[in-house]
């Protein structure tokens, strides 16, 4: 029996997933009488991406016990995410957000309506004993601690349990300016960055929260000095950089067609985790992640409904061929 | 100069209007990836129906200062409702509800997500001086007092100002079981019923809130004994009855095709008000209202996009003719 | 060489076909931001129905030389209608009509915008020599003479040429109240009724135009007395009756689901012509036509996209079986 | 540890699931340029219905390793069906069928294109050791043996293994006339009926395959004489009957709105199994199943996306109430 | 009481608004069975744009008294345009146009069907006394005089009344080649250009109608020499230029995504008027107008559903940021 | 009587046409619940393109006798293609393919499900006597011989009959890698290339099948050496080249917007044939073909619904002008 089989999950994660409501592009919110419904949440998106790539992932949250909460779980479970421990709340609401996928110069706009959500009521003691301990990897983001005090407590409790049980821990800073001010976020999140084995941070968040400016490679190096571990700095069309104390890597963004920006960061994160779990070198992980993010940007929806073969094809840069 | 011109509005009303989200029938909520967006609120629906029939109506509420709040106001203003005094709230959310228009035996189902809405923050002092005083008719419903303390205060303040300024006041009990228990509702709403000139109450609400059972005509008579004024009791497919202390009237429901039940009660109310404002006898008002409600049931959306000629044609029972 | 091959067409017809614009039911015209486009015209619908059933039919008209005119011809040609002699007009517009397929009590409503159309400019001399003479049957309706003087002349010229060349002539009164008053229509159309071998008339038109009231069978008998030939009187849900001087027949309407009423009369007419051309007895023709009309009522669009096997199945009353 | 936990699955089933392609009603196949995609297969539908009601169900089949095969598995897994042992075939195609949901008199029509499908290549040895043995119930249908010799062998092998491991076995005759003639089907399926604990058979199939005519109750009694076990005879709008050697039960069909007939039989079967697994009396099982089937008929798609609470509400006949 | 309050309207305008019918891109007209309905007219678009930005605007026209005419008025009134004086015509038709929004190399194509429209029957005496006199600004275009003699008379009468009452007058040449030849248009429109305070003219129209070629700045200067006032010359992707006798200004076009070209010129005009009414310098007005036009090009529909904050954000060139 | 009239068809062709199923872009196959249906086949697309441009074209194939087969024929006949000799097969299936029109880096992907199709059962003896002999041009492709032995025989028989009857023969290599390996294809198709008067081959197919690399002009020249006739080598965005033994021509690809790549090659082929049939020089034919292909790339669907005037406008490079 291999190590793989000794634990129940390859990766576990927790956080809020919301109803995502989008008028059909290029219509504006406020201009359309038809809306497309899907679900979006950074952590469950990573869980779904990794499940689709073959990892045994699990997600913990609170969702309302109504048709929308059940549709959300049905969606994630379809991708292969284990949702057996999600708490169904008969009272609370599903957080939601409206998105307008406007082409330039309008750009994408997001209106949140997420206060008082079921997920914001998450409590540490609701995560079953063993759920974290029987996994090999825990992924957290900086969104959850901003949702409520109990969500912050849940994040820290999960982290502590993961450390105690020897899991690898990844943390995505994922700063949400509409939830809290940068100073508060920086102060709250830096301990999580330090405790994680791998930290993902957008270049502009490194500036806003931690006051670190510069090229992604320089930012990664500087943050490594503060946090240790592996620091990965993403910078949209400027690509991404990583530093792990031994070597610095940079990957360019792959040219793509912008269909839906939401979920691209989570696709990148998922790509890195997929590769590191398989023992790939950090440089390969960045290249794989960049390909996955590029494909995701050309897709509708947060989740990257992409096969490994397609990612590898884009890495080989043969995307434009028509096979028939 | 006529009496008509001396006051700014024919009818004013206030209350909450929500975003209404419906999967395309016969799909279920939780089964569809597309949703239809519209807006629904008992009071603004009455205002829109009456504006469309030619009355100068106005609506007061709080709505969020975002694309959805503006779309809501745009919709109502399009029908001719004066929304110039609506308060735009830069912080609060728009209440919303999900509706599944399921054919039998599923039936219609509604899931509310209306807590913490902008409208629930309405305050009496926000209604501008003169807004009520320059109108001829005030319409209120029993939904508003259930939303919050300030909403209850706003309802009572509006009623007091209307009484002081000599407006006709209509009140629709419109009990919402998901907002408050029947005893509390009955206690809170009976003073409003007594203060109104015309009260609308569904037969099942008369039972649940006031313990009055029986045929609609009997219920109307009994409630008249408690409240005075004109009492109109609606009973869906059983039609409606009215009693005003002098005579009892009953109108049968007109056969129709059930497309969308929401707004049918408001259409009935609008029909009665339209006719009474024009000086029609109560019996005619009920017949007109029943025709408008029957057409509304065959229409999508809360608002009755119907012309007076169409209502009169249904009253003459010539609906089935194809003219070309 | 068979008789069949001696003439170029089995049936020819001429008239106006319009762009038909319909909001998706149950939405109202004026309530929808999406419209469905199709084409409708009594004569081309008969031509398409008969072509689909295997007859070599042809249609003559004027249509604008623009994408809509070409789409119209493409649609008819797809069903097998020969449109090679249709005149393309680079200047004139395509007549159009808006339809609201409202369920009861709204009912169906039609708004025409057909004045100044290309078809109304049709002239007798535009019908090529031989086009009628090489056919075996001519079908005309009472709509065309109402469109313009030149259209009336074209109708009469076609009739005269058909009589001269020995074609069978059918005529559908098809009174359009929005085009002309009943007296004028009656006076103008009665000569055509007399000249035709087979006349179709709706019971209400027999009353409005010719002052003949009564049961369909009686009306048919009376009109036979005035016109001779074969008179077929249709009466919607009351079925249809026919009289040809020898025997009277009646057929009940077949129960159906009302999806789209437009084109049902043309389907009935097509069914009769199909059967009479095949030498079937008049009674069989009525039964076949009633089945085709019943199926058409359950279909969207004017044209009856129906196979002979399906018609025969409905005639055998086995419609409800699911075969799989 | 409870009995429940000793086995891996509550119920297992196997068979073909196809791509289901439907033009949007009331459009015909051949009339629409848009199609709705879903998936349908009797066995996986039962598995999904039961998973949605809380049973741990699993499904075995072969599906193509392409986006459609993966979407199919994603759909079933979303409902909670364990698909971990489904064989992905890189070569074979997904069977498919086109459905026209025509209102009367058209009725529903189905065109199959299922030959050479991946599922028809299913082989007995592909079902993993233990997969059946670790379950408590096996459900089979008479469709699978008709697909191919290897499918027939797989059905029999599964049955034998289930008998050996002490599972309850249910069998749904589900005769498909387009796959094989009634005599061949009757001969092939009767051994399976005899071997099953519970057999479902449509009244018309009892006649066509086994020559048994009569009222459902009589048919059930007669077939019980031949097969033993529990025999359940369904008869659409005439309801269903059951006989288990001790008592005969009959349940009326519940009035419903026909939206989509496909899957109604599977919903009925699922309802019976759900109840019998919970130890309910046969009569209760029939009533529960009839309610579930009635709701399913009012739903789009084969799978019954219905909650237990909704079924119980329909059993209490309170479907028409609007709660808000 | 401020100056603002002394007059009833900030800006009034008059002209034709048509039904706009568009197949969903990238489908062709003639290729789609679904069409999107909206309304378009240069003057009402300016009125709606300005009302949405907070100005009290009013529009005069004739529209048919049918569901489409009422939907048109409902749409404009929703944006805040006062339509109380629009004449409803029970007989006349609504002009319409079909648009194909084809990507390059197809490009946008327009087919008009606007002859005999209600708007073309507009007459000077239908504009109520005081309607112009109680406004502060009149906006006219060169489309209206091309529609009919009475429309030309109405344009001139409006201009004369505005001059007499001291309004600011803006005029947009807006040459429509399908309505009249350039010589006739030039002769008819030049007096209006001379009488206006502010004239908008496209560079290619300056050439076609007035024979003035050159860079926009040069054209503006030359036309100022002929007309005086303020001359604004637009040149699509080359930006726009203005000359008012004191200084010349030029503004570049802002990079945008072409979604719908129609209405971009009206958005530009609206932007200039918005700013000039607020007392902004001409240069600022051009920059604001260029931003509004750029956003409009990325939007569906003629009307610019845009907030002032969004325009200012684009002026600051921060369009690409995602805020969440 | 002119030469034109002496033969029944201007051009005949034969081959398979499949049902084409596409999720609405940018959705993936496997991500959408809605699909767009159309039909695609290289030969019938050429026939439709040429019919639309005014040629009398005819197509031969086998199609299933079901609603989809009839819809296919209806579609082609609408464009003007004579389908009177198509064989309707009551048993066989319609081949189909799923297409995902993914933007880069996804690119277009095609999944075929075409085995066992009706078309693959085509037999030489089914082409009626005279059908080829009464035409002036035969067009064949290298797809048909790959479908089945009888299809290969049919191709060769058609070619032989055309040669015998003096038709011009064009052949499009159109290599389909999913149907057969390049060596087999090269060996099977080269005799057809040699026998044709005009051969179309993609640059990459020239390499894969015949081992000829290089610039299109060089490839054309080399292949001319092997095959004679006129050789046209297409190379997507690199344009196309031709050599006919006298002179070499090259045409650049025209800038376009990629909406749907499928059918672009057939549009190019159609453009060449259209011009050569009209006696245009080869260079003009290439330019016309390039314009038609560029427009087609900006269109949905395989068939080029384009007018000659539009092609000529693009040749004149005036595509960007808006005329209204």
- The candidate with the shortest Cα–Cα distance to E25, out of F24, D185, A73, D81, is F24
Considering the domain boundaries, does residue E25 fall inside one? no
A308: pLDDT strictly greater than 60 = yes
Q: Are A86 and D80 in contact (CB under 8 A)?
A: no
Give the nearest partner residue to D107 out of C291, C294, C319, using CB atoms: C319
B1: pLDDT strictly greater than 60 = no
F110: pLDDT strictly greater than 80 = yes
> With DSSP H G I counted as helix, E B as strand and the rest as coil, what are the percentages for chain C, rounded to 5?
40, 20, 40
D268: pLDDT strictly greater than 60 = yes
Each residue's pLDDT tens digit, D211-251: 999 999 999 999 999 999 999 999 988 899 999 999 899 99
Q: Which A residues, 166 through 225, put their C-beta within 8 Å of a C-beta on chain F?
A: none
Contact at CB, C108 and B322, closer than 8 angstroms = yes
Contact at CB, E35 and C21, closer than 8 angstroms = yes
- Give F1's pLDDT tier (boundaries 50, 70, 90): very low
A261: pLDDT strictly greater than 50 = yes
All partners of chain E with 3 or more CB pairs under 8 angstroms:
A, B, C, F
The predicted structure's pLDDT at residue E320: 40
- Give E14's pLDDT tier (boundaries 50, 70, 90): very high
Distance of residue C100 Cα from the nearest chain D Cα, in angstroms: 16
CATH number for the domain harbouring residue B223:
3.40.1190.20
Contact at CB, C106 and B295, closer than 8 angstroms = yes
The whole-chain average pLDDT of chain F stands at 95
Distance of residue A102 Cα from the nearest chain B Cα, in angstroms: 14
Average pLDDT over residues A301-321: 84
- Name the β-bridge partners of E141: E172
Catalytic residue among F10, F172, F260, F266: F266
Considering the domain boundaries, does residue E35 fall inside one? no
* Residues of B whose CB is below 8 A from C104: 255-257, 298, 319-320
Contact at CB, B77 and E78, closer than 8 angstroms = yes
Q: Are F171 and F142 in contact (CB under 8 A)?
A: yes
**Disruptive mutation site among A106, A264, A265, A297 for chain E (greatest number of E CBs within 10 Å):** A106
d(CA D304, CA D291): 11
Number of H helices, E strands in chain D: 11, 14
Average pLDDT over residues E229-257: 95
A2: pLDDT strictly greater than 50 = no
Give the nearest partner residue to C67 out of E28, E67, E113, using CB atoms: E28
Distance of residue C148 Cα from the nearest chain E Cα, in angstroms: 17
The predicted structure's pLDDT at residue C56: 98
Distance of residue C44 Cα from the nearest chain E Cα, in angstroms: 18
d(CA F71, CA C143): 30
The predicted structure's pLDDT at residue D319: 39
Give the nearest partner residue to F324 out of E27, E103, E176, using CB atoms: E176
The pair of three-digit structure tokens given for residue F309, joined into one six-digit string: 């005037």
Average pLDDT over residues C95-111: 95
**Disruptive mutation site among F23, F90, F93, F110 for chain D (greatest number of D CBs within 10 Å):** F93
d(CA F239, CA B141): 71
Contact at CB, D314 and B105, closer than 8 angstroms = yes
Give the nearest partner residue to C104 out of B300, B305, B320, using CB atoms: B320
The predicted structure's pLDDT at residue C318: 43
D303: pLDDT strictly greater than 60 = yes
Burial class (CB in 10 A: 0-12, 13-18, 19+), E151: buried
- Give F324's pLDDT tier (boundaries 50, 70, 90): low
B226: pLDDT strictly greater than 60 = yes
Average pLDDT over residues B89-117: 96
Q: Which E residues, 51 through 90, put their C-beta within 8 Å of a C-beta on chain B?
A: 74-75, 77-80
The torsion angles phi and psi of E134, rounded to 5 degrees, stand at -95, 15
Cβ neighbors of A206 (< 8 A, separation 6 or more) are A173, A212, A213, A219, A223, A233
Task: Flag whether residue D323 sits within 8 Å of chain B, measured between CB atoms.
Answer: yes
Each residue's pLDDT tens digit, E83-137: 999 999 999 999 999 999 999 999 999 999 999 999 999 999 999 999 999 999 9
Considering the domain boundaries, does residue B109 fall inside one? no
- Give A320's pLDDT tier (boundaries 50, 70, 90): very low
Instruction: For A25-59, give one letter per residue: b (16+ CB within 10 A) or e.
Output: bbbbbbbbbebbbbbbbbbbbbbbbbbbbebbbbb
Contact at CB, B77 and E80, closer than 8 angstroms = yes
* Residues of A whose CB is below 8 A from B116: 115-116
The predicted structure's pLDDT at residue C309: 96
ipTM of the complex as predicted: 0.94
Q: Are E137 and E277 in contact (CB under 8 A)?
A: yes
E323: pLDDT strictly greater than 60 = no
Task: Flag whether residue D36 sits within 8 Å of chain F, measured between CB atoms.
Answer: yes
* Residues of F whose CB is below 8 A from A295: 105-106
Give the nearest partner residue to A79 out of D74, D79, D80, using CB atoms: D74
The whole-chain average pLDDT of chain E stands at 95
- The candidate with the shortest Cα–Cα distance to A77, out of A119, A39, A112, is A39
Each residue's pLDDT tens digit, A282-299: 999 999 999 999 999 999
C322: pLDDT strictly greater than 90 = no
D110: pLDDT strictly greater than 90 = yes
Pairing of strands A96-101, D96-101: unpaired
Cα-based distances in Å from A143 to A73, A123, A155, A180: 20, 15, 10, 10
* Residues of B whose CB is below 8 A from E78: 74-75, 77-78
d(CA B125, CA E170): 42
Distance of residue B305 Cα from the nearest chain C Cα, in angstroms: 8
Distance of residue D100 Cα from the nearest chain B Cα, in angstroms: 16
Distance of residue E166 Cα from the nearest chain A Cα, in angstroms: 37
All partners of chain B with 3 or more CB pairs under 8 angstroms:
A, C, D, E
Average pLDDT over residues C201-220: 97
The pair of three-digit structure tokens given for residue E87, joined into one six-digit string: 């004449």
Give the nearest partner residue to A68 out of B29, B33, B93, using CB atoms: B29
Contact at CB, A77 and D78, closer than 8 angstroms = yes
Considering the domain boundaries, does residue C127 fall inside one? yes
Instruction: Return the active site residues of D.
Output: 266
Q: Are F293 and F261 in contact (CB under 8 A)?
A: no
Considering the domain boundaries, does residue E20 fall inside one? no
Phi-psi region of A67 (alpha: psi -120 to 50; beta: other; left: phi over 0): alpha
Each residue's pLDDT tens digit, B9-28: 999 999 999 999 999 999 99
Total structural domains within chain D: 1
* Residues of A whose CB is below 8 A from F103: 256-257, 259, 298
F83: pLDDT strictly greater than 90 = yes
Instruction: Return the active site residues of E.
Output: 266
D3: pLDDT strictly greater than 90 = no
Q: Are E47 and E81 in contact (CB under 8 A)?
A: yes
**Disruptive mutation site among C75, C76, C78, C309 for chain F (greatest number of F CBs within 10 Å):** C78
B2: pLDDT strictly greater than 60 = no
Q: Which domain holds residue D276?
A: 7-13+42-66+122-323
Calculate what percentage of chain F has a pLDDT beyond 70: 96
Each residue's pLDDT tens digit, C26-46: 999 999 999 999 999 999 999
Contact at CB, C34 and E35, closer than 8 angstroms = yes
Calculate what percentage of chain D has a pLDDT beyond 90: 94
The predicted structure's pLDDT at residue F5: 57
Task: Flag whether residue D30 sits within 8 Å of chain F, measured between CB atoms.
Answer: yes
State the Rg of chain B over Cα: 19
The pair of three-digit structure tokens given for residue A270, joined into one six-digit string: 């998922």
Considering the domain boundaries, does residue E221 fall inside one? yes
All partners of chain A with 3 or more CB pairs under 8 angstroms:
B, D, E, F
Each residue's pLDDT tens digit, A204-216: 999 999 999 999 9
Contact at CB, F300 and E27, closer than 8 angstroms = yes
Considering the domain boundaries, does residue F234 fall inside one? yes
Each residue's pLDDT tens digit, E145-190: 999 999 999 999 999 999 999 999 999 999 999 999 999 999 999 9
Each residue's pLDDT tens digit, B143-189: 999 999 999 999 999 999 999 999 999 999 999 999 999 999 999 99
Q: Which E residues, 277 through 316, put their C-beta within 8 Å of a C-beta on chain A?
A: 291, 294-295, 298-301, 305, 310, 314
3-class DSSP assignment, residue D109:
strand
Contact at CB, D112 and C324, closer than 8 angstroms = yes
**Disruptive mutation site among C258, C306, C316, C324 for chain D (greatest number of D CBs within 10 Å):** C324
Considering the domain boundaries, does residue E309 fall inside one? yes
The whole-chain average pLDDT of chain B stands at 95
Name which residue leads in pLDDT, A238 or C48: C48
State the Rg of chain E over Cα: 19
Each residue's pLDDT tens digit, D129-170: 999 999 999 999 999 999 999 999 999 999 999 999 999 999
Active site includes C266?
A: yes
The predicted structure's pLDDT at residue F13: 98
User: In sequence order, what E strands does F150-259 have?
Assistant: 168-172, 198-202, 230-234, 240-243, 248-251
The pair of three-digit structure tokens given for residue C320, joined into one six-digit string: 């409800």
């Amino acid at each position: 029996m291999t190590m793989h089989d000794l634990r129940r999950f390859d990766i576990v994660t927790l956080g809020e997933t919301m109803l995502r409501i989008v008028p059909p592009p290029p219509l504006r919110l406020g201009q359309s009488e038809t809306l497309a419904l899907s679900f979006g949440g950074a952590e469950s998106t990573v869980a779904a991406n990794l499940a689709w790539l073959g990892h045994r992932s699990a997600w913990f949250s609170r969702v309302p016990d109504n048709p929308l909460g059940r549709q959300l779980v049905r969606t994630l479970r379809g991708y292969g995410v284990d949702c057996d421990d999600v708490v169904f709340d008969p009272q609370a609401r599903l957080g939601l957000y409206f998105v307008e996928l406007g082409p330039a110069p309008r750009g994408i706009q997001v209106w949140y309506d997420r206060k008082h959500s079921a997920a914001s009521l998450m409590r540490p003691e609701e995560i079953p004993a063993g759920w974290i301990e029987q996994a090999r990897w825990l992924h957290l983001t900086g969104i959850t601690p901003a949702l409520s005090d109990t969500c912050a407590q849940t994040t820290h409790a999960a982290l502590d349990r993961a450390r105690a049980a020897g899991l690898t821990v990844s943390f995505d800073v994922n700063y949400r300016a509409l939830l809290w001010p940068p100073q508060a976020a920086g102060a709250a999140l830096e301990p999580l960055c330090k405790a994680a084995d791998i930290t993902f941070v957008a270049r502009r968040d490194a500036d806003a929260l931690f006051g670190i400016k510069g090229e992604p490679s320089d930012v990664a190096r500087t943050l490594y000095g503060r946090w240790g571990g592996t620091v990965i700095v993403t910078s949209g069309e400027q690509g991404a950089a990583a530093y792990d104390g031994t070597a610095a890597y940079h990957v360019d963004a792959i040219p793509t067609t912008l269909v839906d920006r939401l979920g691209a960061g989570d696709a990148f994160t998922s790509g890195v985790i997929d590769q590191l779990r398989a023992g790939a070198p950090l440089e390969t992980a960045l290249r794989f992640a960049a390909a996955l993010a590029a494909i995701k940007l050309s897709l509708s929806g947060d989740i990257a409904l992409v096969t490994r073969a397609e990612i590898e094809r884009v890495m080989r840069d043969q995307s434009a061929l028509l096979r028939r």
